[in-house]
Amino acid sequence: METDRTPMLEIVDLHVRAGDREILNGLNLTIGAGEVHAIMGPNGSGKSTLAQVLAGRDGYDITRGQVTFLGQDILDLAPEERAQAGIFLAFQYPIEIPGVNNAYLLKAALNAQRKARGEPELDAFEFMRLIKDNMAQMQIHKDFLSRSVNTGFSGGEKKRNEILQMLTLQPRLALLDETDSGLDVDALKIVANGINSLRNPERSMILVTHYERLLELVEPDFVHVLAGGRIVKSGDRTLARELDERGYDWVQQEVQSA
């Protein structure tokens, strides 16, 4: 176990390009164990790119900077190695995989992670026992397990499925990319409860969002504004409320005049 002083995640001077476009432009962010950070910002500010880059998505060039997770440099790791180390990305648009059922994927993922950590793999019976409660918590019907991953799911079902996976995989760091988008009030509550139930001093979270709605239900410790590829303002949760009322323009003006 790392000491308390080691941050969960440390991003230093991160520069990221996609093709000819510079998307992240010297981003710095440190996240301690047990902290929940919200990253807000206008469309196209690079929020989703940050989440994808942390999870190891291909197609981005990291031109400068470093990212350490629990003291380990992760930029050279494959996506599965990051996942096995405890990074979980709840996708903004969860991917459909026809013919592969939910239970199968989740069990394979859980066992791959357990194996990587040197823990014994679960058999079907143990697995079912494990996820039964999680499904109840997310109000997911049991026939859901035999359906193909996200195929033919409603937007709300997809998002609940992401949180179900998170509950089951128990990551150290959860990146939730616009998990609140496309949810009605009831579904948002279920999702928020799922997220809150995972909060503990050993686990950190990054909530990427551009609405304050989710932050009413999952209270962040810190709120950051991402604009032009870097964090331009940080504060506590009152900042989120201010952004919700006043939009993003004033932040950008403030940055420009500074």
Partner 1 sequence: MSTEQDDVADLVQRKYQHGFVTDIDEDRVPPGLDEDVIRLISAKKREPEFLTEWRLKAYRHWLTMAEPTWAHVRYSPIDYQAISYYAAPKSNADAPQSLDEVDPKLLETYDKLGIPLHERARLAGVAVDAVFDSVSVATTFKEKLAEAGVIFCSFSEAAQNHPELVQRYLGSVVPYRDNFFAALNSAVFSDGSFVYVPPGVRCPMELSTYFRINAANTGQFERTLVVADAGSHVSYLEGCTAPMRDENQLHAAVVELVALEDAEIKYSTVQNWYPGDEEGRGGIYNFVTKRGDCRGANSKISWTQVETGSAITWKYPSCVLRGENSVGEFYSVAVANNYQQADTGTKMIHIGRNSRSTIISKGISAGHAQNAYRGLVRIMPTADDARNYTQCDSLLLGSECGAHTFPYIESRNRSARIEHEATTSKISEDQLFYCRQRGLAEEDAVNMIVNGFCREVFKELPMEFAVEAQNLLNVSLEGAVG
- Is 184 in a helix, a strand, or coil? coil
Tokens (6 digits) for 6: 């080691």
99 scored as a contact of partner 1 (CB under 8 A):
yes
Long-range contacts of 49-52 (CB under 8 A, 24+ apart): 49/16, 49/18, 49/23, 49/24, 50/14, 50/24, 50/208, 50/226, 51/89, 51/92, 51/175, 51/177, 51/206, 51/208, 52/89, 52/177
Biggest alpha carbon–alpha carbon distance for the chain: 61
Nearest to residue 137, comparing CAs of 216, 199, 72, 196? 196
Distance CA 168, CA 132 (A): 10
Size of the site for partner 1 (CB under 8 A): 33
With CB under 8 A as the contact rule, the residue among 32, 68, 75, 104 that binds partner 1 is 104
With CB under 8 A as the contact rule, the residue among 32, 79, 156, 182 that binds partner 1 is 79
Binding mask 4-43 for partner 1 (x = CB under 8 A): ----------------------------------------
Binding mask 154-183 for partner 1 (x = CB under 8 A): -----------x---x--------------
State the minimum distance, in angstroms, from the CB of residue 148 to partner 1: 7
Nearest to residue 63, comparing CAs of 16, 19, 130, 8? 16
Looking at 25-33, 78-86, 119-127, 214-222, which segment touches partner 1 (CB under 8 A)? 78-86
Looking at 85-93, 120-128, 197-205, 241-249, which segment touches partner 1 (CB under 8 A)? 85-93
Of 55 and 198, CB closest to partner 1: 55
Nearest to residue 168, comparing CAs of 143, 148, 140, 189? 140
Nearest to residue 196, comparing CAs of 181, 179, 210? 179
146 scored as a contact of partner 1 (CB under 8 A):
no
With CB under 8 A as the contact rule, the residue among 38, 45, 88, 212 that binds partner 1 is 88
State the minimum distance, in angstroms, from the CB of residue 31 to partner 1: 19
215 scored as a contact of partner 1 (CB under 8 A):
no
What amino acid is encoded at 129 in this protein?
Answer: R
- Is 244 in a helix, a strand, or coil? helix
Residue numbers at the binding site for partner 1 (CB under 8 A): 55-58, 78-80, 82-84, 88-89, 91, 94-100, 104-106, 108-110, 112-113, 116, 148-149, 165, 169
